[in-house]
Amino acid sequence: MIRAIRGMKDILPPETSRWQWVESQAREVFELYGYREIRLPLLEKTELFARSIGADTDIVAKEMYTFTDRSGDSLTLRPEATAQVLRACLENGLMRRAGVNKLYLIGPMFRYERPQKGRYRQFHQINCEALGSDAPELDAEVILMLVDLLGKLGIKDLRLLINSLGCPECTPDFKSQLQLFLAAQEGWCDDCRRRLVVNPLRVLDCKSQHCQALLVGAPVMEDSLCQDCARHYRRVLSLLEGAGLAYEKNPRLVRGLDYYTRTTFEVTAAGLGAQDAVAGGGRYNGLARELGGPDLPGLGFAIGEDRLLEVLPPEAGLEGRPLTFLAALGDAARERAFLCLQEIRAQGLPAAMDFEGRSLKSQMSLADRLGAAYVVILGDQELASGQALLRHMASSQQDAVPLTELAPALAARAGLKEGS
């Protein structure tokens, strides 16, 4: 049997209902903050990611699905969306619109990582990007929106970690200080020995406990921030405090992508194990210029939807509108029931019946397996009297309802207005 690719999973019903619910909640929240959806290709030119994410990041160095297409172009399945959202904005002139350009994108990303709980090779992100302003209010708003959404989804035990990575004015000085500190220590892992030379910030992000222990006493970015960056950071924090949001400053939070400047943040959730970051993001004021565009400050975040689903309350997103099952016996009753199906669906309610001529007993058990809230029993006798038996499965209560009234009666029980 041919199986799915390692690290890529099928998402099956009823789990898909929960994904749909999460995405509909996200769309609702994003609309409140003025975000609109953007849909972009899964494939981009490799150069886009190499230039934006950084050549010596794990993503670009080890994890991209890159191939040469039939015209000889190097293409890559997107490992993240920020670079391509910027590419699309620059290419389509979206940033010329008034005000801050706020966009969201939902879809799959691809990284050739070692699969484990919460880490997949095809995973899904809910991305938001706000372009065109460096105001700290925007940083605070983006973070508040993220936490607002996670709260509405019922995710518990969240921690918001925050840091500032400064700007090209102050980061080089910090990098040199850090490099001096790192060079004075022995015992770095192979990756860190290389990072130490090419990009010392990446050492702060090393997952090895041994390297993390060596970092005790390392210089802290906050102490090297220039005046503007320090002011920006303080303002973001004070806006979050004003909004009553608890955060933890984490001076090691450099994130796995090189485009960040100033604010960076991550949200972790309890119950996820080692891969506990449910969302991450930050500012990338230099990215548009890096991609050949104008100075266009911006920031955003991505939620890892697969991880989010793992910490979603078990019942969330599963309750839909009640299903009615029509159990019909005999050809005439089946024909009438077939009409009833459409009448009930026209009320906005799901309805199902058996097309295979099963016995009443097996139709009842099918209704049960489908999770029907109501069963309508329809035989010759009911047809003759023009009344069907409507059974509420949870309470076993049965009422005779005129066939012509069946659909509105079900709508009334579901608390729907007729036809809604």
Q: Tell me the C-alpha to C-alpha distance, in Å, between residue 78 and each of 108, 282, 316.
A: 8, 19, 30
Q: Tell me the C-alpha to C-alpha distance, in Å, between residue 119 and each of 11, 21, 110.
A: 15, 22, 11
Least distance in angstroms from the C-beta of 196 to ligand HAM: 22
Directed axis angle between helix 190-198 and helix 171-183, to 10°? 140
Which CB, 165 or 278, lies closer to ligand HAM? 278
From 25, 57, 76, 82, residue interacting with ligand HAM (rule: CB under 6 A): 82
Whether cis (ω within 30° of 0) applies to the bond prior to 14 is yes
| Site stretch for ligand HAM (CB under 6 A), options 12-20, 66-74, 114-122, 345-353 | 114-122
| Site stretch for ligand HAM (CB under 6 A), options 122-130, 328-336, 376-384, 412-420 | 122-130
Of 413, 49, 407, 6, the residue nearest 259 (C-alpha): 49
Say how many CA atoms lie within 13 Å of 176 toward its Cβ.
Answer: 6
Residue 51 touching ligand HAM (CB under 6 A): no
Least distance in angstroms from the C-beta of 178 to ligand HAM: 21
279-308 positions binding ligand HAM, by CB under 6 A? 279-282, 300-302, 304, 306-307
Distance of CA 38 to the CA centre of its chain: 14
Strands 101-110 and 122-131: antiparallel
Which CB, 256 or 330, lies closer to ligand HAM? 256
Residue 80 touching ligand HAM (CB under 6 A): yes
| Site stretch for ligand HAM (CB under 6 A), options 199-207, 225-233, 249-257, 394-402 | 249-257
Residue 119 touching ligand HAM (CB under 6 A): yes
How far apart CA 29 and CA 35 sit, in angstroms, is 9
Which CB, 108 or 251, lies closer to ligand HAM? 108
β-bridge partners, 103:
36, 129
Rg (CA), the chain: 28
Least distance in angstroms from the C-beta of 207 to ligand HAM: 13
Q: Name the token pair of 294.
A: 């104008």
β-bridge partners, 127:
105, 302
From 278, 287, 341, 388, residue interacting with ligand HAM (rule: CB under 6 A): 278
Least distance in angstroms from the C-beta of 63 to ligand HAM: 8
Binding positions for ligand HAM, rule: CB under 6 A: 80-82, 111, 113, 118-120, 123, 125, 127, 129, 255-257, 277-282, 300-302, 304, 306-307
